Amino acid sequence: VDRAETRRRFANARVAVLATVGPVGPHVVPVVFVVDGDRVYTAVDHKPKRSSRLQRLRNIDANPAVSLLVDGYDEDWNRLWWVRVDGSARVVSSGYASHGLDLLQQKYPQYRDRRPGGPVVVIAIERWVGWSAT
Amino acid sequence: VDRAETRRRFANARVAVLATVGPVGPHVVPVVFVVDGDRVYTAVDHKPKRSSRLQRLRNIDANPAVSLLVDGYDEDWNRLWWVRVDGSARVVSSGYASHGLDLLQQKYPQYRDRRPGGPVVVIAIERWVGWSAT
């Protein structure tokens, strides 16, 4: 899979898994996201949360290294693919945040009437890794 | 979502994301897997790999804390759900491995004519976390 196709598959996906490193091990949570050049944006939104002090944000504060995975599972294992992005995350709340929220609202109709209110996570992409079974 | 339903959703999923902790940050890869009581099995199989010295196995050797995530994404965000399992992983190759491979072959027809040949990862489940939008 070439570089452009790898990026396209990732950017077009509707959901990714965000992995961070916690105090004792890895933490993973699905996120909706948007790609803008070499950055990925994801936001804390109105979807119900298990806790108001989100583990993902605490982890990023302590260790900004994150990975995002988009998985193209298929029962025909010759058609499997995935794309992983490794990068450095930070939690933002002003100009960057507003730009990310605009892009998220463009990608997801679910956000159009309900702009996410929480902190925005910006991930500076450091590595693209694409894999395909064929 | 009650405990039994959480377990059922996870066990019935066809693919999960396995997260480990690497030297500089988290590592994530999709895996096929099978649940057996309080254990999860996944195997290194014939699917093409980026490297013969797999990052996931090196990470588990250094730090056995892993997470597995099954994501039930839906464009209707009222129907979103996910299940996460946190546990302790080890790489096995004899009796446990054989039992895990039998179970994997029962769950996945794709394995029936091609039993995975690589190491088996056994994850002792320490925590179930289920989330549902409604």
Confidence category of residue A99, pLDDT binned at 50, 70, 90: very high
Comparing A47 with B50, the larger pLDDT belongs to: A47
pLDDT tops 70 at residue B18: yes
- Among all residues of chain A, which has the CA nearest to that of B29? A69
Tokens linked to B9: 């959703």
What mean pLDDT comes out for the span A89-106?
Answer: 92
Tell me what the mean pLDDT of segment A98-125 comes to: 94
Q: What is the pTM of this model?
A: 0.95
Encode pLDDT of B37-80 as tens digits. 999 999 988 887 777 679 999 999 999 999 999 999 999 999 99
Please report which confidence band the pLDDT of residue A52 belongs to, taking 50, 70 and 90 as the band edges. low
**Lowest mean pLDDT across A31-35, A104-108, A114-118:** A114-118
Answer whether A27 touches B (CB < 8 Å).
yes
Helix (H, G, I), strand (E, B) or coil at A46: coil
Q: Given strand A120-132, what is the order of strands in its sheet?
A: A26-31, A16-21, A65-72, A81-92, A120-132, A39-43, A34-36
Chain B residue numbers with beta carbons less than 8 Å from the beta carbon of A29 are 69, 82, 84
For residue B85, the SS3 value is: strand
Cβ atoms of B56 and B90 closer than 8 Å: no
Q: Which helix (H) or strand (E) holds B34?
A: strand B34-36
Whether the per-residue pLDDT at B96 is higher than 90: the answer is no
Distance from CA of B120 to the nearest CA of A (A): 19
The ipTM, to two decimals, is 0.94
Higher pLDDT, B119 or A118: B119
Whether A66 and chain B come into contact, CB under 8 Å, resolves to yes
Each residue of A59-77: pLDDT tens digit?
999 999 999 999 999 999 9
CA distance B99 to A26: 27
Residue A96 pLDDT exceeds 70: yes
- Give the one of B50, B84, B133 whose C-beta lies nearest to A131's C-beta: B50
For residue range A31-40, list pLDDT tens digits in order. 999 999 999 9
pLDDT at B53: 74
> Do the bridges between strand A39-43 and strand A65-72 make them parallel or antiparallel, or are there none, so unpaired?
unpaired
